[in-house]
Amino acid sequence: MTGTNGTAVVAKRVDDGHPDTAEIRDLAAAAGYTVAGEVTQTRTEDPALCLGEGKVAELADLVADTGATTVVFDNRLGPYQTYNLGNNLPKGTEVVDRFKLILDIFGQRAQTKKAQLQVELAELRYELPRAEAKASLAKRDERPGFMGLGEYDESREQDIKAQISRIRDELERIEQTEEHRREQRRESGFDLVALAGYTNAGKSTLLRRLAADVDIDENEGLHPDLDATAESEDRLFTTLGTTTRRADFDRRDVLVTDTVGFISDLPHWLVESFKSTLSEVYRADLVLLVVDVSDPVEEIREKLVTCHDTLYERNEAPIVTVLNKIDRVDDEELERKREALSALAPEPIVVSAKTGENVDSLRERIDEELPDWRRERLVVPMTDDTMSFVSWVHDHGHVDSVDYGDEVIIDFEARPAIIEQARARASELPAAAAE
């Protein structure tokens, strides 16, 4: 079946080793292309074409033979390389590099205002150096365009910078609103858990395993994963925005947020454009770093290193590694990988989000790692307002017992902040006393 974007040929160049095209094929499929073939090469980069001239000729023949409309490069192409490649391929062939492809996927999946702004910011960051190149060369050559790069508009570079500044300000306002919402949840007794990890690690499936309901909406009701039948396909970028759900815990009130997945080899400007999504991770009480344990061990190690570099930059919460998809490996392979990864994941939890295996153990680990609750006993008088107060304690903590008499004695556990609020509320009741 042809993808919504038509047929594509993928191309990849590496300096050494064997070019692996599995991920770029997945990305192309995620963008809606049907991949008809590939051309790879191991050599140093050609400044004009990325690939060598002979390989570009081979690529042109493959495009003609397959009728492909697009060539997707698993490399970052400069504006001149893109132009030169277009001149060496059949007329009308579109040339898309890795990062433009990722932006296209993001654009297709962005369904919230925040996600749309982040995509727009990333696209502008992608376009800015190309606009600067056009401006520089147009000024040097004293003509309004260069090598087919497009008509030079000297105001375009400034327009892009102004738009970037505007979007940053708008994202900052959204972030302030979301931070206020997070603080309100904490004040209401919720612990905040964030799911982090690479795309296709199984975060969305794990979220549904942990979820008790779907009534928590982080994105104003616009995110499709808030539906009870949210998809959990084996494809990249199923989740672009953040999805928050109430988790199924007996004692605690826990909110779990699934965030956009990491993907390998992203440039700094692209990561920077989506950093506000990672604020859900940086401000959580606990981070679950989800890993696909069926991946090759070296690939897992590289992914863990990248995640740690990103998460430990600003994160203060404990990080627990979750080795997911144990249904895809046997016990011997699982143990071998656990041992090989012990330095990066010293005490991992192994689960299968798909089958539910060990998810109960994960819940126990979450409960252990989240901030300790404190035990409290409050003695309050029996008044017209007392039952409302007792109900509030039930809603915000875990009540062990309530003894009703001339006075009401409440034994409960809660976050320290909730205990302080309970004491304050109790003190407002006539003749209240705390033991």
Annotated binding site for Mg(2+): 204, 239
Contact 121, 273 (CB under 8 A): yes
Q: How far apart are CA 241 and CA 260, in angstroms?
A: 6
Q: How far apart are CA 195 and CA 360, in angstroms?
A: 17
Name the residue among 284, 305, 195, 186 with its Cα closest to residue 239.
195
Sign of CA pseudo-dihedral 45, 48, 51, 52: negative
Point out the annotated binding site: 197-204, 239, 258-261, 324-327, 352-354
DSSP 203: H
Contact 37, 64 (CB under 8 A): no
Give the residues across from 8 on adjacent strands. 35, 70
Q: Are strands 407-414 and 398-404 parallel, antiparallel or unpaired?
A: antiparallel
DSSP 372: P
CB atoms under 10 Å from CB of 222, counted, come to 15
Point out the annotated binding site for GTP: 197-204, 258-261, 324-327, 352-354
Contact 277, 259 (CB under 8 A): yes
Q: How far apart are CA 99 and CA 118, in angstroms?
A: 14
Q: Residue 424 is encoded by which pair of tokens?
A: 């304050």
